[in-house]
Amino acid sequence: MDFPQAFLDVLHAAKRVVVLTGAGISKESGVPTFRDKDGLWARYDPLELATVQAFLDNPRLVWEWYLYRRNLIRDVSPNPGHLALVEIEKHYDDFTLITQNVDGLHRRAGSENILELHGNIVLSKCFECGARFDGEVTLEGGGLPSCHCGGRIRPDVVWFGETLPEKALSGAFEATNRAELFLSIGTSALVHPAASMPLVAKQIGAYLVEVNLEPTPLTGVCDFYVHGKSGEILPEIVKRLGP
C-alpha cells in the first residue's frame, strides 16, 4: 500500500496524535450500524427506544432493546483495525482516541486513552443519582434494575436529545486543538459535534487523514483520503511506524 511521503513524514515526526472513530470500524467486527439501510434503526423507531421519554414511558421495552444489543456486541470481537490503534498509541506520548461508538470494542482491544462521546452500552447508570454500574443487568422475575438510592438504572449511553458527557467532550476538543496528526476513521462526518473536530484540527494546522469506505463531507478538505477498510489500512500504517 502506497502512502504519500508527506503523510509518512508527519506520522514519524508528530508528537500529538488524535484519532476519531465511528460506526465503520465497528461494522468490520460485525456490529450493525444505524445508518445502513439494513441497520438496526431501520427496524425500530428510535423515539420508542432511545430517548428519556421512551425510558420513562416504557423502561422494560427500552431495557429489552439494550440487552438485545449487549448480546449482539458480546458475540463480536475487536478487529485488526482496533488492534492496530492499540499499537499506534504505543508510539506517541500524547495520543487520544475519540470514539462515537458505544460498543466498548476499543477498550476490549487494549486502547487506553479513550474518550467515549456517546457512552458505553455495556455500562449502566442511575437515572436519578448518576451512580455507575458495570455489572450484568437482568429482567428476570419481572422487575427492573434499581439503584441503592431507589432510582431506576438505565443504560449508560447518550440518548437522542441529551447532551454529551462534559468531561469526554471537553477532553476531545482539548486534544483536537493540540493535534499535529488527526485521523478520522469510519465516521460519516455528519454527527456533530464530533463531525467538527477534524475541521478544527485542520484549521490549527494538523495533518488530516480520512480512512473510509465511502467519501464523506470531510473528504474534500483532507490532506490524505484512504479508501478502504480500517482493518486493512491501519495495520499497514503500523508497519510504516516500525518497531
Bridge partners, 21 (sequence order): 99, 185
Of 157, 184, 205, the domain-final residue? 157
> What is the pLDDT, as a whole number, of residue 143?
82
Averaged pLDDT, 83-110: 97
The structural domain count of the chain equals 2
150 and 238, same domain (yes or no): no
Rounded Cα distance, 24 and 10, in Å: 24
**CB neighbour list of residue 160: distance below 8 Å, 6 or more residues apart:** 46, 47, 50, 51
Rounded Cα distance, 82 and 106, in Å: 6
Please say whether the beta carbons of 132 and 125 come within 8 A.
yes
184 and 242, same domain (yes or no): yes
Rounded to two decimals, the pTM is: 0.93
> What is the pLDDT, as a whole number, of residue 33?
65
Kindly state the greatest CA–CA separation across the chain: 62
26 and 36, same domain (yes or no): no
Residue 39 has pLDDT above 60, yes or no: no
Q: Is 192 a catalytic residue?
A: no
- Lowest mean per-residue pLDDT among 38-52, 182-196, 198-212: 38-52
Bridge partners, 182 (sequence order): 18, 208
Residue 182 has pLDDT above 60, yes or no: yes
pLDDT tens for residues 7-25? 999 999 999 999 999 999 9
Distance of CA 100 to the CA centre of its chain: 3
The helix/strand/coil state of 236 is helix
222 and 132, same domain (yes or no): no
Give the active site residue among 118, 148, 192, 227: 118
4 and 92, same domain (yes or no): yes
- Give me the percent of the chain exceeding a pLDDT of 70: 95
Residue 2 structural domain: 1-30+78-118+164-243
Of 157, 182, 214, the domain-final residue? 157
51 and 101, same domain (yes or no): no
Of 157, 183, 217, the domain-final residue? 157
222 and 188, same domain (yes or no): yes
User: Strands, DSSP E only, in 159-202?
Assistant: 181-185
Residue 67 has pLDDT above 80, yes or no: yes
Averaged pLDDT, 53-61: 93
- Lowest mean per-residue pLDDT among 48-62, 106-120, 192-206: 48-62
Identify the CATH number of the domain in which residue 187 sits.
3.40.50.1220
136 and 240, same domain (yes or no): no
pLDDT tens for residues 99-145? 999 999 999 999 999 999 999 999 999 999 999 998 788 887 778 88
Q: How confident is the prediction for the chain on average, in pLDDT?
A: 93
Q: Give the position of cell 483532507.
A: 222
Identify the CATH number of the domain in which residue 51 sits.
3.30.1600.10
17 and 83, same domain (yes or no): yes
10 and 128, same domain (yes or no): no
70 and 128, same domain (yes or no): yes
> What is the pLDDT, as a whole number, of residue 40?
58
130 and 232, same domain (yes or no): no
pLDDT tens for residues 145-168? 899 999 999 999 999 999 999 999
